[in-house]
Structure 1
Amino acid sequence: MSTIAQLRPADFDSWVSAHADDVPVLLDVREPWELQTASVAAVPGLRLVGIPMNDIPARLAELDPDVPVACLCHHGARSQRVAMFLQGNGFVDVTNVAGGIDAWAVERDTAVPRY
């Protein structure tokens, strides 16, 4: 199994542009209360999907293994585990958003609340 690529929120636009032909997915694996607390605003050319980490195995069919996926959580640990799970289940292009929504709020969108 190969290493999971790490993507800083500040570099997110270039990642989306590099995958423009595929309409990549930002998979937010946080719990519903966390999504209500702080969420990513729409990003052009990107599909936002929210599936809590513990629901991923049961809902795996909702994701396309051939479409690039960037996993996001609060600080990057849960999303790293999900990224490894996806990779182990045949997903070809999986990335972890390093630092999670917390880093997103600092590096990319200061309007996102930190918690």
Structure 2
Amino acid sequence: MLAQITPADLTQWLASVPAPATPVVLDVREPWEWQTASVQADGFTLVTLPMNDIPARLAELDPHSPIACLCHHGARSQRVALFLLQNGFDNVVNIAGGIDAWSQQRDPGVPRY
């Protein structure tokens, strides 16, 4: 079962990651979307990989790192999170509401589009 967290819950999720693991926020949006609105890494490593590139670049991700997937509204990131779980990743969550919710709940400085 895929866990869903909101951007408001991210701090609690980050705090639950046992040391020395470094949590990852995997932004699966397209490059033009990153240029329009992006998050700042704070307590996590930000990795940007477009959704369609994930299968070919799966080896770039550590299957043992805690990963929170992010997109615009949460649908693409949910598909990626499920794909990761099906491919041996053991600590994956979806950020429900995506960067749009991030702007509303966590950082109003992130533009909405």
- The percent identity for this pair of structures is 65
Letter of the structure 2 residue corresponding to residue 82 of structure 1: V
TM-score normalised by the chain length of structure 2 = 0.97
- Please list every run of 5 or more consecutive structure 2 residues that lacks an aligned counterpart in the other structure: none
For residues 41 and 89 of structure 1, the distance between their equivalents in structure 2, rounded to whole angstroms, comes to 28
Q: Could you say which residue in structure 1 is the equivalent of 2:105?
A: 107
Q: Provide the rounded CA distance (Å) in 1 between the counterparts of 2:65 and 2:41.
A: 18
2:12 is aligned to 14
In the alignment of these two chains, the number of paired residues is 112
Q: CA deviation at 1:20?
A: 4.5
Q: 2:2 corresponds to which residue?
A: 4
RMSD: 0.7
- CA distance in structure 2 between the aligned counterparts of 1:93 and 1:56, rounded to whole angstroms: 17
Cα deviation, residue 93, structure 1: 0.5
Partner SS state of residue 95, structure 1 = strand
Most deviating of 98-107 and 19-28: 19-28
Mapped partners of 2:46, 2:80: distance in 1: 16
Take 1:64 and 1:18, find their aligned partners in 2: how far apart are those partners? Answer: 18
Residues of 2 paired with 1:20 and 1:8: CA distance?
20
Amino acid at match of 1:32: P
Q: What TM-score comes out, normalization by structure 1 length?
A: 0.95
Within-5 A mapping of 1:58-69? 58-69=56-67
Runs of 4+ in 1 over 3 A off after TM superposition: none
